[in-house]
Amino acid sequence: MQLLNESLLDLKKSLKSVLEKISMLSDEVDNFAKRTDMITLQRYIEFWEPIDFVTRKEVNNFLRRKFKEDNIPISKKTSNDSKVKEDSQSENKENKKPKVSIEEAYPDTD
């Protein structure tokens, strides 16, 4: 009878352990993303096509090449606009070619 009681006690402990693990797994499953959420994310990613995005460096390189092809001098914008104006005025007198910013040379078409 003693052996049966010990076996029953071990079985109860094992069952309790299994139930605790199942409860933990159940809690974790609640944190998983639902299939519909994943499909929605997939659609947004396909719509945005992030592979087609360009980096700031790529845009700058492209514009520099384009400006060079079109013989348009580039002026660098700084936070001190008066300094830029003074510099560009003195350079314009020397070069006789006006310098324009990227925004001025290629305005948005929106």
Answer yes or no: are the C-beta atoms of 109 and 84 closer than 8 Å.
no
pLDDT in tens, 84-98: 455 555 555 555 555
84 and 36 within one domain = no
CA distance 10 to 21: 17
Compute CA distances 6 → 10, 11, 12, whole Å.
6, 9, 10
pLDDT of residue 75: 73
59 and 29 within one domain = no
For 48, the domain range is 1-53
82 and 47 within one domain = no
pLDDT of residue 1: 82
In this structure, is residue 78 part of a structural domain? yes
pLDDT in tens, 26-82: 999 888 989 999 999 999 988 888 777 888 999 999 999 998 898 888 776 655 555
pLDDT of residue 110: 45
| 70 sits in which H/E element | none
In this structure, is residue 110 part of a structural domain? no
Residues facing 100 on adjacent strands: 74
